[in-house]
């Protein structure tokens, strides 16, 4: 058993953003966990043989958790369009489905995964959940993606977004893809896991939805779906059965702690109450909701109701400081109230909130016995950082370039501003090649 640890000494130390940051504390990392938190003098006295990482001007924080992304989405950035989609459903029907998702193959997805794992580590993301929909890449797409994620040493949850929009048999292949990945990842017992996933009520039948939840229960994992990302789904559900989507899920008996529901943009107060009462988990994507014209999700209301909420990039912008800025600013504007979504609350959603939404144990805070998923931020700002303003200063004025060091499960993945064992130009060349191939296929 390894008894030699690593002592990390920053200037500022954050256990959780729900508490004020502290000065003069350090942490001891042993194996994949936080072994001890104490003053500098005490750690040096107790562990004189440990290695030391001195970062005297920096802030030690929990790593970010990107609780919802589509890693393949990078391939569509800048794709040629004859006209812009006129709304959320035209975005899907005229653009995203035919020009992107239906054209994807494993080579494209793996190139995008490789690039995004690099970018996530670069920006301080230590855990993520990825949702792949590529109906013509089945079967085997997740099994091929798995080793790409594993080599980066990042904590990941992978899934395939099963849907019956192509055919019933294609939907079955999607469900099987999730089960295969879940079982394989459990046998490996490493940082990458899986969950069950289907698309929405408007691309999946009730029997298909029920079967997804049954498979999740059999494999002891969460079930993920998109919900009410725009007006279309709630309007269609009201026409079909007089219920809004969350009300429908509650009626058929699947709304509960095993549900991870993303977007939740066009939901009403009763649906918020149901999400809270049933302890369902929600992920919020402030920037991509704007991009697709879906609207602005009721994030402050969800938080106030006590719903577990995490933040996600949605594969749109990977720099998680940008995602936090979206959650921090957009809701202030929509509520005409600068007190809405204070900085420390947004930091919580970006760390422990995301970990809780994904069901990650002992992730998202820096506490003794918890996973050593950390980042050190080196803010070079013109005004002082103090305990009362640290969360605001970092959220508003830092970005991925200010992340100096990243540790995941006790292993350094970025140090002194450089992602370790990464050739960024080679990764960029590979993803550009696959983006070009996608664009030509969809032309």
* C-alpha separations of 439 from 79, 288, 434 in Å: 6, 21, 9
Bridge partners for 55 per DSSP: 10
Tell me how far the alpha carbon of residue 124 is from its chain's centroid: 12
Cβ-contact 395, 49 below 8 angstroms? no
End-to-end Cα spacing for the chain: 57
Q: What share of the chain is helix, strand, coil (3-state, %, to 5)?
A: 45, 20, 35
Cβ-contact 368, 35 below 8 angstroms? yes
pLDDT at 273: 98
pLDDT at 293: 86
pLDDT at 311: 98
The pLDDT tens digits along the chain (443 residues) read 568 999 999 999 999 999 999 999 999 999 999 999 999 999 999 999 999 999 999 999 999 999 999 999 999 999 998 877 888 888 899 999 999 999 999 999 999 999 999 999 999 999 999 999 999 999 999 999 999 999 999 999 999 999 999 999 999 999 999 999 999 999 998 999 999 999 999 999 999 999 999 999 999 999 999 999 999 999 999 999 999 999 999 999 999 999 999 999 999 999 999 999 999 999 999 999 988 888 999 999 999 999 999 999 999 999 999 999 999 999 999 999 999 999 999 999 999 999 999 999 999 999 999 999 999 999 999 999 999 999 999 999 999 999 999 999 999 999 999 999 999 999 999 999 999 999 999 88
Strands (E), 83-206: 125-132, 155-160, 192-194, 196-197
Closest CA to 177 of 204, 142, 211, 208: 142
Domain 6-62+374-408, second-level architecture:
Roll (2.30)
Helical spans, DSSP H, in 192-319: 206-219, 232-241, 245-251, 269-277, 286-291, 299-305
> CB atoms < 10 A from the CB of 13, how many?
19
Name the CATH topology of 64-358.
TIM Barrel (3.20.20)
| Alpha carbon distance 70, 72 (integer Å) | 5
pLDDT at 443: 82
* C-alpha separations of 87 from 185, 231, 294 in Å: 38, 9, 8
Cβ-contact 424, 397 below 8 angstroms? no
pLDDT at 297: 98
Instruction: Tell me the domain boundaries of the chain.
Output: 6-62+374-408, 64-358
| Alpha carbon distance 109, 118 (integer Å) | 14
DSSP secondary structure of 382-409? SS---TTTHHHHHHHH--GGGEEEEEET
pLDDT at 1: 57
Q: Identify the three-state secondary structure at position 360.
A: coil
Helical spans, DSSP H, in 138-167: 141-150
Return phi, psi of residue 225, to 5°. -155, 155
| Alpha carbon distance 374, 155 (integer Å) | 12
CB environment 69-79: b (16+ within 10 A), e (fewer): bbbbbbbbeee
pTM for this prediction: 0.97
């Amino acid at each position: 058993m390894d008894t030699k640890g690593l002592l990390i000494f920053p200037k500022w130390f954050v256990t959780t953003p729900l508490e004020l940051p502290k000065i003069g504390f350090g942490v001891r990392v042993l194996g994949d966990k936080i072994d001890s938190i104490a003053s500098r003098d005490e750690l040096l006295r107790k562990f004189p043989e440990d290695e030391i990482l001195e970062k005297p001007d920096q802030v030690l924080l929990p790593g970010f958790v990107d609780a919802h992304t589509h890693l393949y989405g990078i391939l569509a950035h800048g794709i040629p369009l004859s006209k812009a989609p006129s709304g959320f459903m035209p975005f899907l029907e005229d653009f995203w489905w035919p020009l992107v998702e239906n054209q994807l193959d494993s080579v494209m997805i793996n190139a995008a995964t490789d690039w995004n794992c690099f970018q996530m580590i670069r920006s301080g993301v230590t855990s993520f959940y990825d949702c792949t929909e590529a109906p013509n890449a089945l079967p085997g797409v997740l099994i091929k993606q798995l080793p790409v994620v594993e080599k980066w040493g990042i904590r990941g949850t992978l899934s395939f977004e099963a849907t019956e929009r192509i055919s019933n048999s294609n939907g079955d292949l999607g469900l099987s893809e999730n089960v295969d990945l879940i079982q394989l990842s459990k046998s490996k017992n490493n940082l990458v896991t899986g969950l069950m996933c289907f698309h929405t009520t408007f691309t999946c039948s009730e029997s298909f939805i029920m079967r997804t939840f049954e498979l999740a229960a059999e494999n002891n994992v969460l079930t993920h779906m998109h919900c009410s990302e725009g007006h279309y789904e709630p309007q269609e559900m009201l026409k079909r059965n007089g219920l809004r989507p969350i009300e429908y899920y509650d009626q058929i008996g699947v709304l509960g702690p095993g549900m991870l529901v993303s977007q939740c943009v066009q939901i009403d107060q009763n649906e918020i109450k149901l999400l809270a009462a049933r302890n369902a988990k929600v992920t919020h994507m402030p920037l991509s909701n704007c991009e697709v014209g879906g609207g602005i999700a009721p994030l402050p209301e969800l938080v106030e109701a006590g719903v577990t909420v995490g933040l996600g990039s949605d594969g749109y912008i990977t720099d998680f400081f940008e995602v936090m800025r979206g959650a921090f600013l957009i809701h202030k504007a929509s509520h005409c109230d600068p007190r809405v979504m204070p900085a420390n609350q947004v930091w919580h959603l970006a760390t422990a909130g995301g970990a809780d939404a994904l069901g990650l144990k002992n992730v998202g805070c820096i506490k003794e016995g918890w996973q050593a998923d950390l980042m050190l931020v080196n803010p070079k700002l013109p005004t002082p950082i103090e305990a009362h303003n640290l969360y605001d200063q970092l959220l508003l004025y830092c970005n991925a370039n200010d992340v100096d060091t990243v540790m995941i499960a006790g292993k350094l993945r970025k140090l002194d501003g450089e992602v370790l064992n990464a050739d960024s130009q080679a990764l960029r060349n590979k993803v550009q090649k696959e983006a070009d191939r996608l664009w030509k296929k969809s032309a």
